[in-house]
Chains A and B, each alone.
Chain A
Amino acid sequence: MSFPWAKHYEPKHPLMRWMDERLPLPRLAYNAVGPGYPVPRNLNSFWNFGVLAGLALVIQIVTGIVLAMHYNANADTAFASTEHIMRNVNSGWFLRYLHANGASFFFVVVYIHIFRGIYYGSYKAPREMVWMLGLVIFLLMMATAFMGYVLPWGQMSFWGAQVITGLFGAIPLVGEPIQTWLVGGFAPDQATLTRFFSLHYLLPFVIAGVVILHIWALHIPGSGNPTGVDVKSPQDTVPFHPYYTAKDGWFAGAALTVLALFVFFMPNALGHADNYIPANPLATPAHIVPEWYFWPFYAILRAFTFDFILPAKLWGVLAMFGSILLLFFLPWLDKSPVRSGSYRPTFRIFFWVWLLMLAVLFYCGGMPAEEPYVMMSQVATMYYFAFFLIILPILSMVERTLPLPTSISESVLHGKTTDAAPTGALQPAAAE
């Protein structure tokens, strides 16, 4: 679907006409990311992160395919082959550091993309499918990143695999057989490494497929915007190309600069020293920590320390998976008709506290399971669940929202400069 005023693709060159009648691929691109896709004119910089996530996926797939040409999925030689890439393969260090830091880049971008979605109510009707497909992508990313971290077969690779697959062992009755089946043995070993490599190569292409569905679902209602008000007239939109291609272009340049600073000047800042020690099933590291992007969920897992009907470990596992699965129900938990947090003053306060609590979970997840970190993560875990399952449903019934602008173009011309101005510099004119 598109708005009636969307530009129509009219091939001028005979070759393009010939192509259009047989395989209208240029038409598809024109309507998806070209002049044929009208986009609200008031998007702020947080709307750049979807394109950045796509860019990150491409970086990961391209570097990953080349790395796989040199990597050896064998428990005896995986670590050595990684060092071979770092030392002997031409620019192998660049490929590997770009791939490792690219994963962090992907997660930073996707986290900001998700926070944007929660603040501006992007999950609300009619974009529920966009939201849920996005969560599927997030889950696939987590699985892919976890298995990728196992591949170098260092100490954290091995023990991370041991701990994470061990979570399935917490399921009553069937837990241990499931764990053995997933790992292909009683502890991570050759069978684990080869299946993780196979899946680590497969899942990015599954992600790419779900990304297509995500964008398809987005293009049915069209992009949201910071006011949360629906598009009403041609004055509310600009064509995706050249307006948002130009904006995404310079923004991608800035983001890649930040990525390059990590890749070239602090490539191991986000990693863990222990992963430069070859995997040793007989020596447990002092602190087993996952990669930083799993820290909040690791903190939730470890926040449940006392048995209550069910064993504490099972509560932790349920809460960890529940903390993500509940997001699938967000469109039905928050029934407020106002989408944007900019017009929901009370929601906004609870949202920022939620983000603060998530920061606490990030911090505690990277720390050893000691006091006071456990108590801090327990408080933050309570707020995390309360925010989505208790506060939001009640708030959406009782909150008094601010008056919405009648249209996007009205908000651009008269609204607050922070949310409304596409160039970020638009001031109310002197004539007013």
Chain B
Amino acid sequence: MVRILGFLVGLGFVGVAAWSLLWGAIAYISEPPAETVEHRFHEHPRDISFSFDGPFGRYNAQQLQRGFQVYKEVCAACHGLHYVAFRDLHDLGYSEAEVRAIADQWQIQVPSINPDTGEPAARNAIPADRFPNPYANETAARAANNNALPPDLSLIVKAREGGAPYMASLLTGYQDPPGNLPAENRPGTGLHYNPYFANLNIAMPPPITADGQVTYADGTQATREQMAEDVSAFLAWAAEPKADQRKNMGIVVVLFLLIATILGRMAYKNVWYGPKREDEAVQAAE
């Protein structure tokens, strides 16, 4: 009974799936799906290597400081870094006093209240504060940016396929739209053509426009590529500040587990030696 019912149910599902397949195949043959414009013009991130690639790669504090400088002087005007605190900048190699100075002199003040009247006020940041948002709220952000919302950058490297190489490619990827781009895919008002962006047109104006836009404190030549890579490295750190710690711990854990596994395997061989020897004895006797 189960098998008869099962047989009928099976025939039902197979039949309906076949019916769907038939119509799908007819549609596929009569109207082969055309490649979308986005797909044709979209470019994959450039192959950029970073110091923190792979299990043995680590962040380069020098590069993170440069990237932080680019964030501070270029990105921070519109983009927040909400999940990162000033105190986290110790990871970049800044001293206690330097972190306090960076927080105190940060261009955006932290919302606060007047201790006497309770009126809204603002104060300078301290190391325990997180990076203050450049806009009071989403409406203010959209009003200032042609109705586009600049995303918070704390997690941007983990929140986009392609990670840091994608970020660096995007920042240097602005160009004039190719001549054969269909009119409906051309950038409208307030949009900019960038083939690394999924739908080709991004609302963010080119942030890195010229070599030397930032004067690096460590004297590194601030080419456009250099600034894009540095700020991408900084944002990778902002998204995953514990990555170095994680990889260091990982090497120890994997070594420990390998040794434990080898010892366990030897113990197993030892335990099973008895039955194996008995079997050989039986076979030899036959």
Contact = CB atoms under 8 A, between A and B. Distances in A.
Do A and B make up one complex? yes
Interface of A: 41, 80, 83, 86-87, 93-94, 97, 238, 242-243, 246-247, 249-250, 252-254, 256-257, 260-261, 263-265, 267-268, 273-274, 276-277, 286, 303-306, 308, 312, 315, 318-319, 322, 326, 329, 332-333, 335, 370-372, 374-375, 378-379, 381-382, 385-386, 388-390, 393, 412-413, 422-423, 426, 428-429, 431-432
A432 B283 CA distance: 7
A95 B44 CA distance: 33
A426 B251 CA distance: 36
Contacts, number: 186
B256 to A, nearest CB: 9
Query: B154, B245, B251, B260 — which one has the most chain A CB atoms within 10 A of its CB?
Result: B260
A308 B19 contact: yes
A385 B17 contact: yes
A371 B33 contact: yes
A382 B247 contact: no
B2 interface: yes
A413 B264 contact: no
Nearest to B84: A87
Given A304-B17, A432-B283, A264 B249 contact: yes
A264 B247 contact: yes
Given A94-B249, A390-B14, A257 B258 contact: yes
Given A305-B23, A326-B9, 8 more contacts: A246-B271, A261-B250, A276-B155, A315-B16, A375-B21, A413-B283, A423-B269, A428-B283
A386 B14 contact: yes
Contact of A303 (B17, B245, B282): B17
Contact of A246 (B245, B254, B264): B264
Query: A265, A268, A335, A379 — which one has the most chain B CB atoms within 10 A of its CB?
Result: A265
B37 to A, nearest CB: 15
A93 B158 CA distance: 14
Contacts of B77: none
B254 A257 contact: yes
Interface in B41-69: 54-55
A256 B257 contact: yes
B10 A389 contact: yes
Contacts of B261: 250, 253-254, 257
Interface stretch (B101-109, B216-224, B226-234, B272-280): B272-280
A374 B23 CA distance: 11
Contact of B250 (A250, A253, A260): A260
A106 to B, nearest CB: 18
Contacts of A381: 13, 17
Nearest to A250: B264
Contacts of B254: 257, 260-261, 264
B286 interface: yes
Q: What are the nearest 9 A-B pairs in CB distance?
A: A264-B250, A389-B10, A250-B264, A253-B261, A429-B283, A276-B159, A378-B21, A246-B271, A246-B268
B2 A333 contact: yes
Contacts of A332: 2-3
Contacts of A426: 276, 279
B20 A273 contact: no
A303 B24 CA distance: 10
B9 A322 contact: yes
Contacts of A412: 279
Contact of A390 (B7, B21, B160): B7
Given A265-B55, A390-B7, A273 B158 contact: yes
B10 A386 contact: yes
A422 B20 contact: no
Contacts of A370: 33
Given A260-B250, A264-B253, A422-B276, A378 B17 contact: yes
